[in-house]
Amino acid sequence: MTERAVLFTGVGGQGLQIVSKTLAIAALAEGRDVLLVPRYGGAMRGGKTNAELTVGDGALRALPVVTSAWAGFVMDPSFWESIRPHLASGAVVVVNSSLFHITVDVEDARVFPIPASDLAAELGSPMSAGFVLLGAFVAITGLVAVDAVVDAMRQLVPAYRTQHVEANERAIAAGAAAAPPLAAPAWTDVAAMP
């Protein structure tokens, strides 16, 4: 039984918590089991904000502390060192290359630089950079379908923020378009998925 753990890192204000939750809801909607553990402290904007997501079939064996993750989702370099030691060798590392210029020092890592902040700015919605990177992440991995991410995002955006739904949707699409499709598939049968 395959379980895929993803470590997210960023700074408060980049939407990392909503992005990780979107991916968890999408995976649950596709019939997988999920365990999502956010990691944040008292600091908000600019402070450390991480999350750990495990996705699998059936009852998860995953512990609520991930120490050997299959993938990294890196919005920002500030707290990169807090996840780097916990990425498995050969990890898929999708980085926001608009901000992240560090060499990924993880054995045999498969690194995918996506200029998420620049793409979001070009779309006129710099706040949606997290969704750009999420669109790219799922396009690269097929962890869930891109459409499932859009549906989950629509569910998750609160009523008083619905004006951002379209921009988020464009961001997800732009990220997916900027990424090499299924370059690092999460599931063996992923290529057969619609």
Partner 1 sequence: MTKRLMQGSEAVAEAAIAAGCRFFTGYPMLPFTELLENMAAKLPAAGGVCINAASEIEAVNMALGAAATGARSATGSCGQGLALMQEGIAELALNELPVVIFNMARGQQDYFQATRGGGWGDYRTIALAPKDVAEAVEHTQLLFHLADLYRTPVILYGDYVIAHASIGVDVVPLAFPPTPPKDWVVDGTTSGTGRARQIWTWALGKPNTPGPGPSRAWEDIAAKYGQIARAEARHDVDRGDECEVLVVSFGTTAVFVDRVVEDLRAEGLRIGSFRPITLWPFPGDALDHATRGCSHVLVYELNGGQMVDDVRMHAADRSVVRSIGGVSQDNSGMRQGDLLSADVLRRRVLDAVGLPRGAS
Interface pick for partner 1 out of 21, 136, 143, 186 (rule CB under 8 A): 21
Spatial separation of the C-alpha atoms in residues 16 and 194, rounded to whole Å: 27
Contact 15, 129 (CB under 8 A): yes
Nearer to partner 1, 144 or 178 (CB): 144
Examine residue 4 and tell whether it contacts partner 1 (CB under 8 A).
no
Helix axes 146-156, 165-177, angle to 10 degrees: 160
Window of 27-35, 108-116, 119-127, 140-148 that interacts with partner 1 by CB under 8 A: 27-35
Quick one: the chain helix, strand, coil %, rounded to 5?
40, 25, 35
What does DSSP assign to residue 189?
T
Window of 31-39, 118-126, 158-166, 173-181 that interacts with partner 1 by CB under 8 A: 31-39
3-state secondary structure at position 11:
strand
Examine residue 37 and tell whether it contacts partner 1 (CB under 8 A).
yes
Examine residue 158 and tell whether it contacts partner 1 (CB under 8 A).
no
Nearer to partner 1, 23 or 179 (CB): 23
Examine residue 28 and tell whether it contacts partner 1 (CB under 8 A).
yes
In 57-182, DSSP assigns E strands to 69-74, 87-96, 110-114
Spatial separation of the C-alpha atoms in residues 74 and 50, rounded to whole Å: 9
Long-range CB contacts (< 8 A, 24+ apart) of 84-89? 86/7, 87/7
Q: What's the one-letter identity of residue 76? A: D
Examine residue 157 and tell whether it contacts partner 1 (CB under 8 A).
no
Residues pairing with 68 in the sheet = none
Interface pick for partner 1 out of 1, 58, 64, 107 (rule CB under 8 A): 64
- Total residues contacting partner 1 by CB under 8 A comes to 18
Nearer to partner 1, 32 or 170 (CB): 32
Window of 64-72, 110-118, 135-143, 160-168 that interacts with partner 1 by CB under 8 A: 64-72
Q: What are the residues binding partner 1 (CB under 8 A)?
A: 21, 24-25, 28, 33-38, 40-42, 61, 63-65, 67
